[in-house]
Amino acid sequence: MENIQTLNSDFNAMKEAVEAVETTKDEYVTSFSQQLEAEVEVINKEAKAIRNAAQVEMVLDINADQEEVLAFCSGLNDQLTVQIEGSKRIAKFQKLFKVREALVKHMKPLPRALFEST
């Protein structure tokens, strides 16, 4: 009989714990989605910086040293690959938590072969 009496209080304690988790869940999801949005902004800024860097005079100059341009572009491509990986990681979390996906979807690294000298 004693087990039945403690079972009721245990059930009530568990019910209160579940209710507490349910009420804070939305707050945590909102907070996490705000952090993800901040990371998206950082990735967008870095992608824009990479795009701008790709337009430097050296890259556009036909008389520029080919090896130097290839090395520079390869470095930009490496930076872009890092941003794409971050973007994919954020997209997984956004999908998991069912929050609005806002990423740079047009970012794609170039094939490595483009940066090998001929």
Length of the chain: 118
Which tens digit of pLDDT belongs to each residue from 65-110? 999 999 999 999 999 999 989 988 888 888 887 877 766 556 667 6
Mean pLDDT for the stretch of residues 50-63: 89
Which tens digit of pLDDT belongs to each residue from 7-33? 778 888 889 888 888 888 888 888 888
Name the nearest CA neighbour of 28 among 102, 89, 96. 96
pLDDT of residue 32: 85
User: Alpha-carbon distance 111 to 73, whole Å?
Assistant: 11
Q: Is the pLDDT of residue 60 over 80?
A: yes
